[in-house]
Amino acid sequence: MKKTFLLTAAVTIAALAVLTNCKKQTTENNNDKFTYNVDKFYDLEVLRYRVEGFEQLSLQQKQLIYYLSEAALQGRDILYDQNCRYNLRIRRAVEAVYLHKTNNGEMTLASAQDEQDQLLEKYLKRVWFSNGIHHHYSEDKFLPEFTREWFEQALAEANYSLDKEVLDVMFDPALMQKRMAQADGIDLIASSAGNYYGEGITQAEAEAWYAAHKDNSPEPKWIGLNSQLVKVDGEIQERVYHVGGLYSAALEKVVESLKKALEFAETDEQKAVIEKLIEYNETGDLDTFNQYCIAWVKDLNSRVDFVNGFTETYADPLGITGTWEAMVNFKNIESTHRTELISQNAQWFEEHSTTDPKYKKEEVKGVSAKVITAAILGGDCYPATPIGINLPNANWIRKEYGSKSVSIDNLSHAYDEAAKGNGFAEEFIIDEETRQRAEQYGTLCNDLHTDLHECAGHGSGKLMPGVTKENLKEHGSTIEEARADLFGLYYLADPKLVELGLLPDKDAYKAGYYQQMMNGLMTQLVRIEPGKDIEEAHMRDRQLIANWVYQHAENKEVEIIERDGKHYLQINDYDGLRRLFGELLREIQRVTSEGDYAAAKELVETYAVKVNPTLHQEILERYKKLNLAPYKGFVNPVYTLVKDKEGRVTDVTIDYTEGYIEQHLRYSRDYSFLPDIN
Ligand code: ZN
């Protein structure tokens, strides 16, 4: 899963264009109590997502989701232990004190008399969010704000004992500083708190072991994906994650739930997927894992789909071992229809674009992306979560059998909804009319722009003979993203979209144009530290487009105006703006088709990299005053089996009322199977 995380607070109605995978659909307002915003502490905000369409699924599909959801929650402890071998002990100790002080979770400590009590609750909430004692994004260990003395006293009162060694890790800033270290010239394993390697093993030893065991066959096994390397009597040994091996107690439960899920599989292909995953969990055999991945890629007709297991390797400093994660989802038929419609019209889009006919493809194949609705998040997808999934990771399987790429619309939708009213639009959008249009059509425009970008933009155009993508070297990805973005922007304003029923009226696109320009020229700068250049390809692409258009707006199609010491984007001529997008698209297609490195470099260096320091400072100050949390995560809904008198399941209900603290206390009570030390 190449993770598309929402890393910053730039997720607001006015900054939607920073998302690459934002999808929306209609919301069923059948639950008045539903709130998107759940909790906020430190730099974190907890949101809630709706599982739109769950009620309309068949009873079989609902039960399938129920058991897959159980399997998704049962591995929770694994991630804590992978993140750091002290995590489970610390979480359990803090929870024990918390339960003691709150009469088993009956009350909260948010406004407790003793400030130390309040700080305990904040610390625990932070541990849950990060699945351990290190910040989920910065990787830095965070320290409790309550004192060690106070905590030791509280432990004694709760009748709970914790080793000095563990207390030291909790309170001493010098110990286990980074979950994953990345600097040059250090031993990455010794410097990382992650538990992918046992004590005393060096980076050189681990690398040598991997090199010696690498599978170089045409269909290679991913050696090390599901194991911890340890040193026993000077020898390196592999402790494999499987039933009977490392993390057995949790994996046994996962297997139990998968076996129940198997009874409700929708298709034979899906049955094969679940069977292979059970076998893999039981044996830890990596050939079986490959077979599972292939079966998963081939299963295209089931509505329900899921990920469950050791998947992404970002958290291992050597990039070998997978972190446990889970997500259950089902296809969103309505939104997927939208991407199919765009894909079917890819040829028309190609023929009518502003690019030179000699750079057009004679025959364009559109891509139809699948849009999904997340039903449960677990492991490394929870509480912070990706908004897109692209698996499997093994390149040979991708090449031979393909891959699945999906965007998760209900999570993106929750980000949008939660951002409404946070003050961002009021601060940065120029006037009420533009704000209202953004509120009404912003999400829709962003969805369509993403669809046009993914389903038609990237696939459009052709390279001249002898030219390859490598011609543009380090500027290749910025130019390619700009090309797809411009393709999307150009067509967002086209009457064809209204004709296809994708936009409600001919002016709706203006919301998308305003967002894109404001984001590219101004608001995306909130993600850049003062004095720094723009590095990331998507950010460069957005500034390239907005800045180029701004500099070429000879008839003042767009302006930046000043009002009461603040700067705002003003669009005077939307048609003119579209012409400018078309002009730049034509040039960028030429640069791509000809492999014109000099022109690509000139475009990127002139428009995409440098930041106006005065404007940047102003944007940062205005943004800071809004007091928005840069990192977001979710609580899950609660699924319950409804049974009749004979014990037969008649329905599965979904409930959205569980709070953040409640949910984690319940998970720690009902889904915690591993011992303290693994
Ligand atoms: Zn792209």
How do the domains of the chain map onto residue ranges? 7-177+636-670, 419-631
The Å distance, Cα 22 to ligand 1 centre, comes to 13
Q: What's the 455 CA to ligand 1 centre distance in angstroms?
A: 10
pLDDT tens-digit series, residues 213-258: 999 999 999 999 999 999 999 999 999 999 999 999 999 999 999 9
Residue 12 has pLDDT above 50, yes or no: no
Sheet of strand 388-391, all strands in order from the earlier edge strand to the far edge: 304-312, 323-331, 370-379, 404-408, 388-391
Helices (H), strands (E): how many in the chain? Answer: 24, 14
569 Cα to the center of ligand 1, angstroms:
25
Q: 């038609």: which residue's tokens?
A: 456
| Strands of 252-369, DSSP E | 304-312, 323-331
Q: Closest Cα to residue 585, out of 536, 552, 558?
A: 552
Ligand 1 centre and the CA of 129: distance in Å? 30
The label of the residue with tokens 């969805």 reads 447
Q: How far is the CA of 537 from the centre of ligand 1 (A)?
A: 10
Q: At what angle do helices 660-670 and 115-130 cross, to 10 degrees?
A: 70
State in Å: Cα 366 to ligand 1 middle.
14
Ligand 1 centre from 469 Cα, in Å?
14
d(CA 138, CA 535): 18
How many C-beta atoms surround the C-beta of residue 537 within 10 A? 19
pLDDT, position 4: 42
Distance 278 CA to ligand 1 centre (A): 35
Give me ligand 1 centre to Cα 622, in Å: 30
Helix 333-344 vs helix 432-451: crossing angle, to nearest 10: 70
pLDDT on residue 19: 34
Q: Where is pLDDT greater, at 25 or 160?
A: 160
Distance from Cα 148 to the centre of ligand 1, integer Å: 49
Measured in Å, residue 486 CA sits from the centre of ligand 1 at 11
CA separation, residue 432 to residues 235, 420, 505, 515 (Å):
69, 15, 19, 14
Q: What's the gap in Å between 453 CA and the centre of ligand 1?
A: 6
Section 579-607 average pLDDT? 98
> In this predicted model, what pLDDT tens digit does every residue of 77-119 receive, in sequence order?
999 999 999 999 999 999 999 999 999 999 999 999 999 999 9
Which among 95, 391, 83, 77 is positioned nearest to 252, based on CA atoms? 77
Predicted confidence (pLDDT) at residue 395 exceeds the cutoff of 90? no
Minimum mean pLDDT range among 28-42, 114-128, 243-257, 647-661? 28-42
pLDDT higher than 50, residue 463: yes
The alpha carbon of 459 and the centre of ligand 1 are apart by a number of angstroms equal to: 10
Q: How far is the CA of 515 from the centre of ligand 1 (A)?
A: 18
**Does position 21 have pLDDT exceeding 50, yes or no?**
no
pLDDT of residue 390: 79
Instruction: Give residue 184's pLDDT.
Output: 84
CA 232–ligand 1 middle distance (angstroms): 47
For residue 598, how far is its CA from the centre of ligand 1 (angstroms)? 22
Backbone angles phi, psi at 196, to 5 degrees: -85, -10
Q: Compute the distance from residue 458 Cα to the ligand 1 centre, in Å.
A: 7
Between 343 and 490, the more confident residue is 490
pLDDT of residue 32: 58
Contact (CB, 8 A) for 374 and 329: yes
Segment holding 603, helix H or strand E: helix 597-603
Q: How far is the CA of 541 from the centre of ligand 1 (A)?
A: 10
pLDDT of residue 402: 83
The answer to whether residues 334 and 27 touch, using CB atoms and an 8 Å cutoff, is no
Instruction: Indicate the average pLDDT of the chain.
Output: 92
Q: For residues 484-505, give the mean pLDDT.
A: 96
| CA 454 to centroid of ligand 1, rounded, Å | 6
Identify the H or E element spanning 30.
none
Place 198 in a pLDDT band, splitting at 50, 70 and 90. Answer: very high
| Å from CA of 271 to ligand 1 middle | 33
Best-predicted range by mean pLDDT (334-338, 446-450, 468-472, 633-637) = 633-637
Rounded average pLDDT over 354-375: 89
Asked whether the beta carbons of 94 and 120 are under 8 A apart, the reply is: yes
Q: Are 628 and 424 contacting, i.e. CB atoms less than 8 angstroms apart?
A: yes
Cα(543) to centroid of ligand 1, in Å?
A: 15
Nearest alpha-carbon partner for 430 in 569, 294, 301 = 569
